[in-house]
Chain A
Amino acid sequence: MSEKTLPDNKGRFGVYGGRYVAETLVPALDALYEQYKIIKKDKKFLSEFHKDLKDYVGRPSPLYFAKRWTEILGGAQVYLKREDLNHTGAHKINNTVGQILLAKHMGKKRIIAETGAGQHGVASATVAARHGLDCVVYMGEEDIKRQSLNVFRMKLLGAEVVGVNSGTRTLKDAMNEAMRDWVTNVDDTYYIIGSVAGPHPYPEIVRDFNAVVGEEVIEQSINQIGKNPDVLVACVGGGSNALGLFYPFINSKEVKLIGVEAGGLGLSTGKHAAPLNDGKEGVLHGMRTYLMQDDAGQILETHSVSAGLDYPGVGPEHAWLKDTGRAEYVVADDDEALEAFKEVTKVEGIMPALETAHALSFVRKLAPTMENKQSIVVNISGRGDKDINTVASIEGIEL
């Protein structure tokens, strides 16, 4: 079976994925999948979605040749897929533009979302504002502190931001709380999950709405490189920007796919967010996947300098791509990400999100080992403005 036909009708990618939720949500997920199957073939829906991607998001996003950085690295030609230039500053808007149309199609009046770095929260609040729907965003108190700019943006957009105080007070707890809201308000509420994670059919829906990234890269590569790139690189938290880039290339076996997880303070310290590198199979948030967990099956606290990667699980399709060997997953730690953040900002005048900086940090290692005629496309999943406070405080600077 071709890997591109997954998931199966139970939402499984091999043993991963599935639907591990309390009974109350099963009928809601069934209804969602039924509607999704209909609209993804519906011409009117697709034309509305693509029109919004063009006129509202600003797609296609450029594939930019990083000339100076390529020269400095001295190896493969490095291209940046500029998702940071999208409306709201990250790839997250692709998915929310699609899901809000689905929500409206299903007659839902209220939107909820979870967010880590705040990018998905902003993207959800943005589309909710545009369509005149109520929006509640759940966000860990820890993340609210380090992403105050995005919190204010969401509020200006009319969303209610609810701080989550349970557990580790980060993305995973925000997702627990969003699930609790959904189970309580399932009749009128649509839950926009922000990554290729959660119960079936979310991993499939979020992947499909992000696949426009890779689809554009296929076309742009032919025009600008003359062939497919040799390697695709993207950071992986839940994994939506990576899968959006990788998915259209899955059957092009000559293209190497590399996901970069957050190494935090280093894999050996245990303080990281790299379940594919240092986790094991388990069940959380409705899916079977790789998880950071202890021997008793309790989910571990994660650490990353970037709030968007600070998650103990990963989308089930990545777990499958890892096991089949189709994609490779490496880590970049906090320090390496910060170095890459600074270098690309200075050399290319492009300030990436700290999440993205993890991918860039791996490109710094990879490019010099490759030949000049080879090429790498790295997904600039978001822009770095939101991280300025974090970077300043690491440098000991008060803004």
Chain B
Amino acid sequence: MNRIKTTFDALSSNDSKALITYIVAGDPDLETTLNIMNCMVEEGADIIEIGIPFSDPMAEGVSIQKGHERSLLNNTSINDALNLVSKFRKSNKTTPIVFMGYMNTFESMGVKEFCKAAASQGLDGLLIVDMPPEESTEFSTEAKNNGIDVIRLIAPTTNISRVKEICDVSSGYIYYISVKGITGSNDLDSEDVKQKVKLLGGETDLPIAIGFGIKDSDSALSVKDLADGIVAGSVFVDLIGEGGDTITKIAKKTKELSAAIK
């Protein structure tokens, strides 16, 4: 059973939106990551994106870069992240998990090996930031063979004919990047997003999630009616970076975003 589809179908029948939350595996350590995942689900997260740390995360703003750096201090590997999924699945069989990362770390494990292991541990989707459709033949095939969704990015700069091409090779959901920029950007323009997402909706039956620049109930509210879900990442990674009672702070933030869009 495909957990991503089930999740969006259930939300849609309740006329509700998906809260997709992002943290980096192993930031600051794997045990905390597992606790945060469970806490996020408890407070209303519907899908969890797990960042796979990379030494050169080119599309990330400072917040998430620092998350990657903290995680790499413990040499968190892709295998560690897979073990994390397996542990999470012991108590949670329903919340979809998506890995988000960069080509080189996945490839270095081996595309086939990764997809096989990922499916058996209970991973649902894969979003490789620096893998446009043109460069993803092997990943697409192996992911499909193993029942893993390949989630793709569409940007404000993507023209309509390319939108169509991307949608045709996507599964799970479409991740619409709401701003020209890196993760954690500040200048989300909801009018612009509205126009683009409307176009996008005409090209795909897949659910659409909006991300980049969503950090509080106001920014969440401003885009929630435009799509099927919102993604929040930098705001959580910042809270982890602050230290202190991370779990309590993350619980509060998850609750705030969930309340805004449900």
Contacts and interface: CB of A to CB of B under 8 A. Distances in A.
Please indicate which of the listed interface residues A18, A23, A24 has the most CB atoms of chain B within 10 Å of its own CB: A23
A33 to B, nearest CB: 13
Contacts of B159: 27
Contacts, number: 114
B157 interface: yes
A293 interface: yes
Contacts of A107: none
Interface in A179-202: 179-180, 183-187
A1 interface: no
Contacts of A283: 102-104, 107, 130
Contact of B158 (A19, A26, A183): A26
Interface in B34-92: 54-59, 61, 65, 69, 72, 75, 77-78
A293 B57 CA distance: 15
Interface in B148-191: 152-159, 162, 166, 177, 180-182, 185
Interface in B93-137: 102-109, 129-132, 134-135
A286 interface: yes
Q: How large is the interface on B (under 10, 10 to 19, 20 to 34, 35 or more residues)?
A: 35 or more
B interface SS class: loop
Nearest to A18: B135
A326 B189 CA distance: 51
A299 interface: yes
Q: How large is the interface on A (under 10, 10 to 19, 20 to 34, 35 or more residues)?
A: 35 or more
A19 B61 CA distance: 21
B239 to A, nearest CB: 20
Given A183-B182, A184-B181, A295-B108, A19 B55 contact: no
Interface of B: 54-59, 61, 65, 69, 72, 75, 77-78, 102-109, 129-132, 134-135, 152-159, 162, 166, 177, 180-182, 185
26 contacts: A18-B134, A18-B135, A20-B130, A21-B130, A22-B130, A24-B155, A24-B180, A27-B155, A27-B158, A167-B69, A180-B58, A180-B59, A180-B61, A180-B182, A184-B182, A186-B157, A283-B104, A284-B56, A286-B130, A291-B104, A296-B77, A296-B105, A297-B78, A297-B104, A298-B105, A299-B104
